[in-house]
Structure 1
């Protein structure tokens, strides 16, 4: 995505009271989008310690406050912390994104799915795919978030959140067709976010990753 420099805001006003009317499903989907931004920024194989730290705290805020905002949309403390987490993810992902977004973008383009929800649905499969490169890093994040069990505990927490929010259990449930996985894989590898994945993506591995996310 390319933004014209004259269309970037000079000032942003982040008022959590403006988000109180957001429906639970959109609260959950946009919240997990913030989580995906922070997660992929934290795992990206590039040097940017400040973004890494911001991403880690953003993960913690989403883990703590998104379930509260989902259950009670009028919880202003939860809304404020989720707004902070969303802003932190947007700062952090200058370090990079990865396969979560590389898969989600073509699915959204072809099937019109909600971006954040699609990110959440593919997230467990991408975590498993990237495990050889990120296991120790995710274990450290899990400890900071207060999640027991290292990488497996973190993965289980992501799946627990997806279940809590009532997200589809795989891309097939979102309407993705098996016959189009090759096309989606080619689009994913061409997506600019693919280059930030800690395990390199090829058309073949991306197609297998899509299949595992179905």
Structure 2
């Protein structure tokens, strides 16, 4: 098979260079934005791998003063961002290469955003018009290179950062946080373990699915979400079964970017619960969404049944809510996703706190039903116990 059909550029929602081997254009992408000294930000797990070393060497050989920052947790914290800003300023960098999965991309975008700000990070939490207080000229340009197919952070205008002091995840938003160039190269995702491929792929599904179920009016986002879900159905099992399948890997990268583009329409209960659980238990975000998915769908059934019936037909299922829900359950089992939160070490002890944090999470505003603290607490308990 040839991959030339996937080698192309497009400009929605930003400039995207897609295709096998496009990582070779990293230095050119940086130079196109005027960078001379980019800071490559990634997580510790990737920092020592050849893909990162090769990227830095290629940039240096092209005349760029490229250096590495990788002091980032799996759920990046405000301290990680602050440390990155110190590295950016001390190294006299003029741009950021956001390289990696969701943690690396989110931290990198926040570092680029904060590199020229005078206020503290939490001043720009996505509440009201906080974003308008930023110094736009102080936001460094970003080239984003995802190595997982899940968060879609490469096409997002926000970062999710953990406030360790208060044990809560906060969304930092500004339109200029959107990377100006994205490189989607499936070769970079080949070495991803099957379990991480599954969890991140289910994260992409959750983004597309919650965007599709959102009650807000955004027909373009709805259309993108529908196709993003179809790509997950067709290609995620293939990517998990054979990590060297570049066709499946490419399509999952696209589905991930589509999900993050679509959720301009809103997210929902999966993320409203996953965000506090990630902050409280430091659990993998994609895995949390994957486990929570059927419980949240079931809780929203009265409102979303007709929409999911239409969606089921589009992706080749019987046209009913039950058929779609069963597909989700079957897909999770096929991919080795646990059925309960208990299976990953989460119990009911903090149910009341989780319920309260869920209603306060910005994602709750996009859920088809406005659940109360108590309803979110019960949803959480259902997911711990495995009660659908």
What is the TM-score when the length of structure 2 is the normalising length?
A: 0.54
**How many Å apart are 1:7 and its aligned residue?**
4.3
Write out per-residue CA displacement over residues 95-148 of structure 1, whole angstroms, 9 at most, x where no aligned residue. Answer: 000001011111111111111111010101001000000000000000000012
Unaligned runs of 5+ in 1: none
Counterpart of 2:346 in 1: which secondary structure?
coil
1:82 aligns with 2:252: yes
Say if 2:322 is the partner of 1:155. no
Larger strand fraction of residues: 2
Match of 1:51 in 2: 221
Aligned to 2:159: none
* Residue matched to 2:365: 195
Distance in 2 (CA, whole Å) between partners of 1:43 and 1:87 is 18
User: Which residue of structure 2 aligns with residue 142 of structure 1?
Assistant: 312
1:3 Cα deviation after fit: 3.7
Residue 181 (structure 1) aligned with residue 317 (structure 2)? no
Offset from partner CA, 1:71-103 (integer Å, 9 cap, x none): 000001100110110010010000000001011
Write out aligned runs for 1:108-147 (5 A): 108-147=278-317
Is 96-105 or 160-169 further displaced after alignment?
Answer: 160-169
Could you state the TM-score of these two structures normalised by the residue count of structure 1?
0.97
Task: Give the Cα separation in 1 of the matches to 2:352 and 2:196.
Answer: 29
Aligned equivalent of 2:178: 8
Deviations 1:155-187 (A, max 9, x none): 011111111111222111122221211111111
| Structure 2: gaps (5+ residues) | 1-170
Q: Distance in 2 between matches of 1:104 and 1:118?
A: 6
Q: What's the Cα RMSD here?
A: 1.1
Shift of 1:8: 3.4
Q: Is the 8 A contact 2:310 2:319 kept in 1?
A: no
Instruction: Give the whole-Å Cα distance in 2 for the aligned partners of 1:164 and 1:45.
Output: 30
* Structure with the larger RCO, 1 or 2 (CA within 8 Å, 6+ apart): 1
Structure 1 residue runs of 4+, over 6 Å off?
Answer: none
> What is the rounded CA distance, in whole Å, between the counterparts of 1:176 and 1:150 in structure 2?
32
Output the CA distance in 1 between the equivalents of 2:313 and 2:345. Answer: 36
Any idea what SS the aligned residue of 1:2 has?
strand
1:204 matches 2:358: no
Task: Measure, in 2, the Cα distance between the counterparts of 1:165 and 1:86.
Answer: 17
Match of 2:203 among 19, 33, 41: 33
